[in-house]
Amino acid sequence: MIELRHAGKTYQQGSREVRALRDVSFVIKKGEFISIMGPSGSGKSTLLNLMGGLDQPTSGEVFIDGRPLHGITDNELTLIRRRRVGYIFQFFNLLPLLTAEENVGLPLLLDGLPFSEVKPRAADLLDKVGLRQRAEHRPEQLSGGEMQRVAIARALITGPAVILADEPTGNLDSHTSEEIFLLLKSFNDQGQTIVMVTHDPKAAAYGTRIITLKDGAPDQDIVIGGDNP
């Protein structure tokens, strides 16, 4: 599903080199729910950005659905990012002038589908995240938890190979956070592959596998239970 082969990332800061990731290799299988943990600066966001093609490694290779993210055109990369990867961010990243329904449908609208086709699919997903009554609301009219539900629906609408979530509850209270984790878990139970960065050990326990990073490399890689593929 997603594979990293000796992926590394070095940032150039003036004359100084920052090795954010060093020689990381692993495979994410279909249906896994991976929690990525580790101290601040250990490379979690960098790793997630490489997995989703938001950033390129300075060494090694990344594959999604068996297809390399290197040696392809910008246009091909844009299409893979839009169609095969769903992103969820700490600060939701919704467009303020669009309704919940339009935000959810945006990846398909950008892909050229007519609104008449997108609207029922967006409505169905809003229903699945418990926001059927909020379709016409703008982000400013929604709570933080509701905004993150809209973002989750938006991430799911293309039927992506993987959902990548970077501290998806970093901006939410503990009760709302738990609701978001349960929602992600319910989509994982239906087969959705998810990779989630979190600081919270309780959140990480929703995963089927926990990878901890230390100084830009995996430190521990633990599969939880025995029933995941």
The SS3 call for residue 49 is helix
Nearest to 32 by CA among 221, 170, 200: 221
Structure tokens given for 29: 């299988």
198 lines the binding site for Mg ion (CB under 5 A):
no
97 lines the binding site for ligand ATP (CB under 6 A):
no
Phi-psi domain of 53 (left: phi exceeds 0; alpha: psi -120 through 50; beta: other):
left
Q: Which stretch binds ligand ATP (CB under 6 A): 34-42, 59-67, 78-86, 94-102?
A: 34-42
Of Mg ion, ligand ATP, none, which one sits near residue 43, judging by CB under 5 to 8 A according to partner kind? Answer: ligand ATP
Q: Which is nearer to Mg ion, 44 or 134 (CB)?
A: 44
162 lines the binding site for ligand ATP (CB under 6 A):
no
Q: Which is nearer to Mg ion, 146 or 167 (CB)?
A: 167
Q: Choose, by CB under 6 A, the member of 2, 4, 20, 69 that binds ligand ATP.
A: 20
Exposure class string for 198-211: b at 16+ Cβ within 10 A, else e: bebeebbebbbbbb
Q: Which stretch binds Mg ion (CB under 5 A): 23-31, 45-53, 106-114, 210-218?
A: 45-53
Nearest to 165 by CA among 156, 174, 176: 156
Pairing of the two strands 2-13 and 16-28 = antiparallel
Of ligand ATP, Mg ion, none, which one sits near residue 163, judging by CB under 5 to 8 A according to partner kind? Answer: none
Q: Choose, by CB under 5 A, the member of 35, 42, 45, 198 that binds Mg ion.
A: 45
169 lines the binding site for ligand ATP (CB under 6 A):
no
Q: Give the Cα separation of 87 and 15 in Å (integer).
A: 33
Residues that bind ligand ATP (CB under 6 A): 11, 13, 18, 20, 38, 40-46
Residues that bind Mg ion (CB under 5 A): 44-45
